[in-house]
Amino acid sequence: MRTYVHLFGIAFFLWVVPVEIFAQETGIRGRITDKTGEPVLAANVYLKNEPDKGTASDINGSFVLRYESRNLTRDTLIVSFLGLKTRIIPIASIDINEEISILMEDDRQMLVEVVIKANPSLSKEFSVQEISKYDIYNTPTSAGDALKMITVLPASTNVSESADPELRGSSGNMSRVILNEVPVYKPVRNSRMDGIGNFSLFNSEMIEEQNVYASNPPLIYSNATAGLVEIGTIKKLTSEETTLSLSLANIGFMHSRPLTAKGFFQIYGNYQFSNPYLWINRNDEDINKFLSEDIGFNFHAEPSKKVTVNLYSYFINEGYAANDYSYAFSGEVKAGKKRNFNILNVKYKLSNGFLSINQGTDFSEEDFEFGNILSKQKSYFIYNNLDFKYYFTSLWNIQAGFSHEYSKVDYRLRFPKYYYAISPHDPSYRFDNGVSNHNPEFYLYNRLQMIDGLTIGLGLRKNIPLKTQKGYWSYQVNLKYVMNDWNSILASLGAYNAYATPYYTLQEFTPISTKQYSLEYFFSKNDFRLQLSSYYKREHLNETFSETNTSERLLKKIQGVEIHLSKKMEVFTASFSYTYLYSKFRKDEKWYNSPNKMDYFIKAYLSYYPKKAGTFSLSFLSRPGLYYTPVIRSEANEAGIYKPLYGDYNRNKYSGYSRLDFSYNKVFTLKASHLILFLTINNLLDTKNERTVMHNDDYSSVIGYKYYNRRSFYAGVQFRF
């Protein structure tokens, strides 16, 4: 007990004591600005002979580089920032007793290599993987989609071939996707009744940054009970550009235009169609038709040096028809959806921090029909957030705020009378239902970076319970230790709480609570990267069982190990990852395998980019088949319809899964314009990967399998001018 008291005392001391107590007395003081006179935040500052003892500039561009008292005249000061030219300043040329001014110039060199940053920057205390726009386009499995690109990462345990971010063994609806500081639930198009969708709602051309937090994500972004994907749109635009695109399934345009030196707007639209795609991919037996129209708008302005405003608006009208199978019934799924979401961000710069207001609205209407199932659904989501961030020094800051989410879903439903009898001729009944949820929360996060390479992050989040809600506290602790330029260790733990998004099978906002622990090691040197990760999670959540058509609250245990290696050479980039995932759930006081319990999950990636020929990429994935519950016999009910009777949960397994994907793209420069050709072949070897076992009407025999996506071709051209 005394040990825990001591640990609590140390944590409290680190929370409240200013960082200057730990700092040296001697230091080089300076201020960093760009060519417009604006301060540069988070520029890296270090001595050439002591690169592991660097610092970063604060919101005012100011920094203090501490060092031990000694003769520095033979050393060199290095100042660097992405997108700006690195400044190299001999110490002998400056007066270290006075504050120095450092002007940074634009670096117009474009980075064209595909780089997946497996290790976070040294100043970040989270397990975060940073993804660039080039990564999205040059990863074969992504098809140019921001969320599908995540499946190539070692932390992704996606087993559905969808765009939902399934991270470290947890289901996709437990991860959060944040766009410009606002959560976007169900961030996918062509979504099924269980929420799984083929592609994301985001235009990759408008994305400036995408960060993936595999586990223990920042509590400032609400309770992400599994992981988090943070997406930010473009914040600076220097020139006007128009993009026209044409592919087997899409016609699109995008226009970007600066309004003033401090503002710009972007508008884009797409019309998707299925006929050419399905004609080329005739072996696709599942998709019958898809059609969609969408339009997006992004406006950014800086009316003063202290105020920034960004407005993002998106509308989509989509529909599709596909073949599916459930409970011995094969038939066509028909679905359609109209959706509009809007995000407004207003940021005010203080003397040593920021004050932000972030608002979001999301409204949708959707319908789904399969057999005798008919679901018509209207959803409403309103989000408000007030956020405050303050920099005491470049090494110590806090972030606090308040958020409120309001969600409402109205259903008009036609249900099967017998859950296993879903043929259009089987009996059904109708009913209406409406559910809503308010979730106000406040949060506090404290970040302290020690001069010896240790960074500590402590976070708290508390809800304000309403009506029958229960109160909860969420917390997280992150310890990042940078041993030198190449090695670092990250230890994280946290407890998270949230509410599940309602679906057709679970029409209520049920609570989810998780505890997460992770330990990770990072090594990076000479374009070689190694990441070793282990994690353990306990999840309490409601889950629906198709075997009994009941929803029960479960305890799920997840353990995993990840090994990731990558190497970048002159014209090659290669990576390899191995994941071991142990997952079980407890039901009726017994433990059962989760469907995605896997002894191995292997991913390999190779990209070849000779200067004149274009970029060639291969992506390989292999894992065991998923577990499923077998039908052992059946019995006829009073209507003469056969009811399947199941054996032990997840006792059987499908055959192993593997796929090889290929992509190619080539950029042609035509004076001030660019022409981009691209080709993707998914499941290059046309592997038949089993997804669902199919039975005859009385379940007496297996008649075949539904498969994951077979081999498919996708190609197009993009013209930028």
- Report whether pLDDT(251) > 90: yes
Question: What average pLDDT does this structure show over 532-542?
Answer: 95
> Do residues 406 and 359 make contact, with C-beta atoms less than 8 angstroms apart?
no
- Strands 176-179 and 228-233 turn out to be parallel
pLDDT at 70: 57
Confidence class for position 196, pLDDT limits 50, 70, 90: low
What is the residue extent of each domain of the chain? Answer: 2-103, 128-720
Question: What average pLDDT does this structure show over 400-407?
Answer: 96
Q: Where is 67: in which H helix or E strand?
A: none
pLDDT at 87: 87
Q: Where is 158: in which H helix or E strand?
A: none
Q: What is the C-alpha to C-alpha distance for residues 452 and 465, in angstroms, rounded to an integer?
A: 41
- Report whether pLDDT(492) > 90: yes
Would the pTM count as exceeding 0.75? Answer: yes
Averaged confidence pLDDT in the chain: 85
- Report whether pLDDT(524) > 60: yes
More confident site: 452 or 250: 250
Q: In this predicted model, what pLDDT tens digit does every residue of 270-306 receive, in sequence order?
A: 999 989 989 998 877 788 898 999 999 999 999 988 9
**Residue 56 carries which side chain, given as an amino acid letter?**
A
Phi, psi torsion values for 138, nearest 5 degrees? -100, 10
pLDDT at 108: 43
- Report whether pLDDT(439) > 70: yes
- Report whether pLDDT(102) > 80: yes
Listing DSSP states for 4-59 in one string gives: HHHHHHHHHHHHHS-GGGGS-S-EEEEEEE-TTS-B-TT-EEEETTEEEEEEE--T
Q: In this predicted model, what pLDDT tens digit does every residue of 20-67 receive, in sequence order?
A: 333 334 678 889 988 777 778 778 888 877 766 678 787 677 888 877
Strands of 526-597 (E only): list them: 528-545, 550-568, 572-587, 590-593
Confidence class for position 130, pLDDT limits 50, 70, 90: confident
**CATH number 2.40.170.20 given to 128-720:** yes
pLDDT at 149: 84
- Report whether pLDDT(528) > 50: yes
Q: In this predicted model, what pLDDT tens digit does every residue of 583-630 receive, in sequence order?
A: 999 998 899 999 999 999 999 999 898 877 888 999 999 999 999 999
- Report whether pLDDT(478) > 80: yes
More confident site: 358 or 452: 358
If you average pLDDT over each of 44-53, 379-388, 452-461, which comes out highest?
A: 379-388
- Report whether pLDDT(644) > 70: yes
Please give the structure tokens belonging to residue 116: 């997946």
pLDDT at 558: 96
Phi, psi torsion values for 688, nearest 5 degrees? -90, 95
Weakest-pLDDT range from 82-86, 245-249, 469-473, 567-571: 82-86
**CATH number 3.40.50.620 given to 2-103:** no
Query: Residues with Cβ < 8 Å from 379, sequence gap 6 or more?
Result: 362, 363, 364, 365, 366, 407, 408, 409, 410
- Report whether pLDDT(18) > 60: no
Burial 657-692 (b: 16+ CB within 10 A, else e): bebbbebbbeeeeeeeeeebebbbbbbbeebebbbe
Weakest-pLDDT range from 116-125, 249-258, 420-429: 116-125
pLDDT at 11: 39
Q: In this predicted model, what pLDDT tens digit does every residue of 61-99 receive, in sequence order?
A: 788 887 764 566 678 888 887 667 888 888 877 887 788
Report the alpha-carbon angle 566-620-694, nearest 5.
145
Task: State how far Cα 25 lies from the chain centre.
Answer: 42
pLDDT at 191: 59
Q: What is the C-alpha to C-alpha distance for residues 59 and 121, in angstroms, rounded to an integer?
A: 18
pLDDT at 26: 61
pLDDT at 5: 39
Q: In this predicted model, what pLDDT tens digit does every residue of 560-596 receive, in sequence order?
A: 999 999 998 888 889 999 999 999 999 988 999 999 9
- Report whether pLDDT(4) > 70: no
- Report whether pLDDT(139) > 80: no
